């Protein structure tokens, strides 16, 4: 089965990101396809490379990056939600006159059209968080 995933909550504010990650990992292990994981609303915080959890806690942001690298999972961050929350890639930081970017490896910034495409291409759209 081909899944699209929507994550609406941040990495440490809600269980949604953990649940989405575990679902994606399990689905891949079972041979399913993940068309795209789209991060929206506070879910864009999952894409910050500046998140530094305590050493004895899970590093959700790093887990997503590693999953993308290992399985070529398309991790897309909503540009409007990201800008509002200070998540920028290098090109957007330059365009906005900012002196730094903070998008984690494996993530890319794009628009809501990517979510629409994912919901059309996938057999199921699974939503994690409000």
44, pLDDT greater than 90: yes
CATH number of this structure's domain 2-128, picked from the four choices 3.40.50.720, 3.40.630.30, 3.40.1260.10, 3.40.50.11610:
3.40.1260.10
Asked about 78 being catalytic, the answer comes back as yes
CA distance 8 to 20: 10
pLDDT at 107: 98
Task: Report pLDDT digits (tens) over 71-120.
Answer: 999 999 999 999 999 999 999 999 999 999 999 999 999 999 999 999 99
Q: What is the mean pLDDT of residues 6-23?
A: 95
Residue showing tokens 């995933």: 5
pLDDT at 20: 98
Q: Using a pLDDT cut of 70, give the percent of the chain over it.
A: 100
pLDDT at 75: 98
- Of 78, 87, 115, 118, the active-site residue reads 78
Smallest CA-to-CA distance from 46 within 35, 37, 54, 36 is with: 37
pLDDT at 37: 98
Question: How confident is the prediction for the chain on average, in pLDDT?
Answer: 96
Q: What are the structural domain ranges in the chain?
A: 2-128
Q: What is the DSSP string of 42-55?
A: GGGGGGBTT----T
pLDDT at 13: 86
Q: What is the mean pLDDT of residues 39-50?
A: 97
pLDDT at 99: 96
């Amino acid at each position: 089965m081909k899944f699209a995933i929507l994550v609406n909550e941040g990495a440490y504010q809600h269980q949604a990101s953990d649940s989405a990650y575990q679902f994606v990992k399990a689905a891949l292990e079972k041979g399913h396809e993940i068309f795209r994981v789209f991060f929206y609303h506070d879910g864009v915080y999952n894409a910050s490379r500046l998140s530094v959890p305590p050493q004895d806690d899970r590093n959700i942001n790093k887990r997503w990056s590693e999953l993308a690298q290992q399985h070529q999972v398309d991790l897309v961050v909503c540009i409007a939600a990201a800008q509002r929350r200070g998540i920028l890639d290098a090109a957007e930081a330059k365009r906005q006159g900012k002196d730094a970017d903070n998008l984690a490896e494996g993530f890319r910034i794009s628009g809501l059209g990517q979510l629409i495409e994912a919901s059309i291409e996938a057999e199921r759209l699974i939503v994690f968080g409000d």
